[in-house]
Structure 1
Amino acid sequence: MKNWLFLFIAIIAEVIATSALKSSEGFTKPIASIVVVLGYMIAFYCLSLTLKTIPVGIAYAVWSGVGIVLITTVAWFVFDQKLDVWGIVGIALIMSGVLILNLLSKTGSH
């Protein structure tokens, strides 16, 4: 269970770093740039801890799927980047895939 917590921390850190990347304006804003670097450092460190027990394919699928949904949500509310219906359908399909991997597949370590 601890490894899933590390994965969750990695995802949150990556979403914060990616959001700050947009705000850094090409690394011209020092505070946002520092948040980017620290966020990605935390994200990759926690992801590396996760990979000790969770298969890399499963960890990366969860990382990318949940990350896409969260960063899209942040972009919607913080940067006013709206999705059309097909964008929402696509994200729903991504989340469906993550749920199928974690709830139905015997591939991962549960």
Structure 2
Amino acid sequence: MLKAWVFLLLAIFSEVFGVSIVNYSQEDNKAFVLSILFISIAIAYYCMSLSLKKINVGVAYAIWEIVGLSLITIIAIFIFGAELKIQEYIGLALAIVGIVLVNLGENRSDV
């Protein structure tokens, strides 16, 4: 089961890397940046498919989305200087609480 969670984390980090690098596609190296994006997304989906052998698809996808969104938001704030409104912070917090509740409700009979 631990291996599945490692693959899920690899999927998340690969997607976050690929999406974050898109900010650099405005420069002259657009083809290179986009190729890194496509490779990162392919790795993310491959790792996600491996994680789904042990993790429920709904739980895995929900965790992938909220952790990925949170990491991308943190990168946008601290690296690219984005500013969020209070309702955006509240929305992120509610999404995180929701994912925690979904994860707590997962059937853990195979552990």
Q: Deviations along 1:58-94, whole A, 9 cap, x unmatched?
A: 1100000101100011111122111111111110111
- TM-score (normalised: structure 1): 0.88
SS at match of 2:26: coil
Aligned-CA RMSD value: 2.0
In the other structure, the counterpart of 2:37 is 36
Q: Which amino acid aligns with 2:90?
A: V
SS at match of 1:80: coil
- TM-score (normalised: structure 2): 0.87
- Which one has more relative contact order, counting CA pairs under 8 Å at least 6 apart? 2
- Where structure 2 has 5 or more consecutive residues not aligned to the other structure, the ranges are none
Rounded to whole Å, the distance in 2 between the matches of 1:27 and 1:92 is 37
In the other structure, the counterpart of 1:90 is 91
8 Å CA contact retained: 1:27, 1:33 = no
Rounded to whole Å, the distance in 1 between the matches of 2:39 and 2:70 is 22
In the other structure, the counterpart of 1:15 is 16
Rounded to whole Å, the distance in 1 between the matches of 2:85 and 2:34 is 30
